[in-house]
Amino acid sequence: MSETLEQATTVVGGWSEFTSEIDEMAQLSFVEALSGLRGVVYSPVAVASQVIAGMNYQFFCNSKVVYPGAQNEPAMVYITKPVGEKAYITEIIRP
């Protein structure tokens, strides 16, 4: 889908569909928000976004506790990136 078409179909306040094509802005927000987080490694698989006064992101991730033999588990990582501010985690949901 072209960028212009995506912008035209994005509703302010509405969530986009999940996509495995994680754009640079979403990836940078993910890295920024999770910097300093220890004990679990989160690897994003797909992302949905919501335009607000900045951006909200929902990342579907593989998560793995940092210890030998740990198994991957699914996780949802919610991140907010206000305009002109650092991205931060608002919630992490793991089974």
Supply the range of the domain harboring residue 14. Answer: 3-93
Instruction: Give CA–CA dist 68/28, Å, rounded.
Output: 28
Single pTM value for the model: 0.84
Give the per-residue pLDDT at 10: 58
Tally of domains within the chain? 1
57, 93, 56: which is closest to 76 by C-alpha?
Answer: 93
Segment 12-62, tens digit of pLDDT: 779 999 999 999 999 999 999 999 999 999 999 999 999 999 999 999 999
CATH number of the domain that residue 77 is part of: 3.10.450.10
